Amino acid sequence: MGLGLGAGSGARAGTGVGAGGGTAAGAPLRFAVLGDSLAAGLGVDEPDQLPGVLLARGLADETGRAVRLETHAVSGSTTRDLPAQVDRVVADPPDVALVIVGANDVTTRTSVAASAALLGAQVRRLRAAGVGVVVGTCPDLGTVRPIAEPLRSVARGWSSRLARAQRVEVERAGGTAVAMGEVLAPEFTRRADYFSRDRFHPSAVGYEAATSILLAPLCGVLRHEWWPR
């Protein structure tokens, strides 16, 4: 199964059409990615290493359908920037969306309660538009080696509290939350090669690990609400 960038779309945007391996007819499944640099894939060198592309390939393989990837994520975004991305998505709703946001809320010391509540509100907007939603909750910033102690411990605690609050708000809003920090922190702590050259964002190997825990929930959302469509 191959996934190529659409005509006129930049490599960093990660927007294109992937052909599924099956023979199911119908329009392509539409998959949107929203959030920050982790959602956008900052840290990799090739378009086919972007997390959105990896997940679109996985969805195409699982469904036997072509998948249209639409990347709205912007590097540096906090949850306060999410409404503008959601505005674009709900104007022409896709089948399913992935949201990864929160790391920059920690680094900018945004209130956990305010950040989580805003995320819940945006998930609610997506669900009201008929979009299935999976949210990768805040990663564990305590795994980032260049952050010196005691700030690393502060970052770990803050990101953990935010991830828990995000999960509550996302589930209240009808979305599916995936505890990325809790699941991935042991491997990111142990393996330096999970980080890119900037030592903050994941490498291609790190993104592959992250997408491996996000694909099943995305497929589950499609199976539960839309499949077949």
For 86-116, what is each residue's pLDDT tens digit? 999 999 999 999 999 999 999 999 999 999 9
CATH numeric code, 14-225 = 3.40.50.1110
CA angle 65, 179, 112 (to 5 degrees): 125
Domain boundaries, the chain: 14-225
- Across the range 146-171, mean pLDDT stands at 89
- State pLDDT tens for residues 117-141: 999 999 999 999 999 999 999 998 8
β-bridge partners, 16: 5, 69
The C-alpha R_g of the chain, in whole angstroms, comes to 17
pLDDT of residue 226: 59
Residues tagged active-site:
37, 198, 201
215/227 Cα distance (integer angstroms): 15
pLDDT digits (tens, 9 = 90+) for 197-206: 877 788 888 8
